Amino acid sequence: MIDPLTPFRLDGRTVIITGASAGLGARFARVLHAAGANVVMAARRADRLQSLAEELPGAVALECDVTDDDECERLVDVAGDRFGSIDVLVNNAGRGEAAPAEHEDRSTFRQTLDVNLVAPFVLSQIAGRHMLEQKRGSIVNVSSVLGLVSAGQIPFGAYATSKGGLVQLTRELAGQWARRGVRVNCLAPGWFESEMTVEMFADESSAAWIRRKAPMGRAGIEGELDGALLFLASDASSYVTGQVLAVDGGWTAV
């Protein structure tokens, strides 16, 4: 009998996930671990990572600043040395601050691009070399609906620019590596409550704006990204590359 869930399993595969210390990243780590993956979790907040690692038997927690190339190299090396392969990379680490473009701090703009766009390229390059040698691998870049459309009433210039760039980086790497066994796709969440959006959800007028703008009439809730993540990370999407999967309650459809 065929088990339709088998392609979604990641048994014995090594997954690196950045930004895993809290929010969506911590949830992603739990989901990938539950799917059988050897999870290597990276973030700057070592104490939170360690707490999560204690919850997930066999998971590895590694303090890492993704804007430091040497630390990115170490992250991939540790994962490869510990588990023998690099099978999935989830570029989830990110930052974003709202500011009107005419007043946005230029250094903050550059820092945002460094975390949200340059770091995913660096890690994809490093991990991608291992995957290309193996002739298999899946990279999942976590972008945003703001990488596809403008928020309009919320000024997120640096964040939106970086996430739009990540969408195009996804397509470029997918095109370069498709014939060599490495798939690169993009997950684009809509409005979900996280550390980055906590102030919006705490403010009733902002929360009401999300409900009003989203065709489904609400924000996303915990767990509603799980299936999309597993699909892109696993063999369930073995013939999918260079794609952006928006999980946004219809936000980008209208």
Asked whether residue 247 is assigned to any structural domain, the reply reads no
| pTM for this entry | 0.96
Residue 168 lies in a domain: yes
What pLDDT is attached to residue 153?
Answer: 78
Distance of alpha carbon 223 from alpha carbon 220, whole angstroms:
9
251 within a domain of the structure (yes/no): no
Enzyme catalytic residues: 159
At residue 36, the pLDDT reads 98
- CATH at residue 206: 3.40.50.720
Contacts for 26 with CB less than 8 Å, ≥ 6 apart: 20, 48, 52
Q: Number of structural domains, the chain?
A: 1
The per-residue pLDDT for 202 is 83
How does strand 182-189 pair with strand 244-247?
Answer: parallel
pLDDT at 142: 98
Q: Which of 6-20, 73-87, 197-211, 214-228 has the lowest mean pLDDT?
A: 197-211
The domain of 78 spans: 9-239
Instruction: Please provide the average confidence, as pLDDT, over all residues in the chain.
Output: 95
Q: Is residue 250 part of a domain?
A: no
Q: In terms of Cα–Cα distance, which of 66, 95, 122, 87 is closest to 197? A: 95
CA-nearest of 4, 3, 62, 5 to 29 is: 62
Could you report the per-residue pLDDT of 185-219, keeping only the tens digit for each?
999 999 998 877 887 788 888 899 999 999 999 99
Residue 55 lies in a domain: yes
pLDDT at 201: 85
Task: For residue 180, tell me if it sits in a domain.
Answer: yes
Provide the Cα torsion 145, 150, 155, 161; round to 10°.
70
Average pLDDT over residues 209-235: 96
pLDDT of residue 203: 84
Is there a domain that residue 252 lies in? no
pLDDT number for residue 1? 59
Average pLDDT over residues 136-141: 98
Domain presence at residue 158 = yes
